[in-house]
Structure 1
Amino acid sequence: MLTYELTSRDLEEVRFALSPASETVLSLRALRDPGRFPLQLPWIRTVQPLLEDLDWTVLSHLVNDTMGSPDYLTPRPTSPLTQFTDELQLIAAVDQETFTRQHTAVNGELPEGLTPARVTTALDDYWQTVIAPYWNRMRTILSADITYRGHVLTQQGTGAMLNELGPAISYSQGLLKVDKVSAISRVEKVDGRGLVLQPTLFGPHAVIPYDPGAEPFLGYPPRGQANLWTVVDPPTPQDLAKLIGTARARILQLLTHPRTTTDVAAELGVTPSAVSQHLQLLRRTGLVEPQRAGKQVLYRPTELASLLTGN
């Protein structure tokens, strides 16, 4: 059991984040012991034929028999918008002392031939092959859970929100207790460092840092996992055009990054006013959202739009 001691200030600074790198590394648990992850069996069966081309001489050392992983592989996320490429850069930049110490702690020794470069390459290939094709679907479940927890926190308070995170997690009088995560119990003070909460599909009960004293972090099981693999596949571009119109479908496909009305109009070869009308309708229906950058207004797709387009 891990017990985090939180002051009233610590409770005020609890925040949520998503980590595609953490989900990538933690998903190796499900492949190592599928019986512990019944909700993810459809994904396991689907990716099984793709696994033989990956570098398992490296990947097999990233999760041990007790489901532990070196902490540098799961950098504590800072935002619900964290990108895999950004986290992969952090993983690649690990110093040799940390790399050696953490792999030795997890594996009992530093596996022969294991280097940060090999780990980074193997993880990137693994992400591209078995996680990235399903990430939009996974992210939708994870993001929806964060939204729900935010409502609970606002309406009932931090204590109530923490007590709803999962059966293995409980909070009372400044003590956040996480069971079923470690054979050796330990108590750690958050002490102003900030506690990050991250929904993860590959707990299965909860996830904590491997190293004692690491930056406070808690992974917990999200709501809605039972429906994860029953979500229909994204529509084709033709289907999307029939649903919302060819012009608006094309605009959504162009919004791979935040763009201005003028920028989109130039690429489509139409007037900015025509694009503006479409964007306003897409905004009212929850498919795009504006963000101001100085004097410019940029538009980006919402999670709903990403699910529809598959981007």
Structure 2
Amino acid sequence: MLAGGMEQVLNTRHSAIRWDAPVLRIVNSQPVRRTALDGRGMTLVPSLFASHPILIDDRMGWQGLPILVYNITPDAETAASLWQGHEGESALRALLGRTRADVLAALRETRSTGQVADRLRISSPSASKHLTILRRAGFVTTERRQNSAVHSLTPLGEAILG
């Protein structure tokens, strides 16, 4: 950032990210996403799991700032170390948190929110919150069946568990 400013930082994160001050565009999304930063600043979120950049500008983000999620690809040594457990804890649990990893594992079979809560012995609101976060991350899909929300893993969610 010191050498090339925000233009270099943003334009070198991913080929689909275009910064032409004061407008940030994500050109791989349909429709093309763009936002005028107008001096507001932005939260940058590197992600191992994002397949493409995601721009969130609902003014409800962290401190009301737009959020840019972009994928990173670590070198082979770093990638291997990410999946090694720490002190007996699985890498997935260390990454997502114990309960969220357990929610993901519970969805190896399609389940309702209540079934996930019962299986993990957590409250339904807690299960719902974890499922919402996992859905936003692209690990879970949800569909309505009569009066229930039924959840299942996406291919990305299956890959993470695999």
After TM superposition, the score normalised by the length of structure 2 is 0.45
Q: Considering fraction of residues, name the structure with more helix.
A: 1
* Greater Rg by CA: 1
Q: Considering fraction of residues, name the structure with more strand.
A: 2
After TM superposition, the score normalised by the length of structure 1 is 0.24
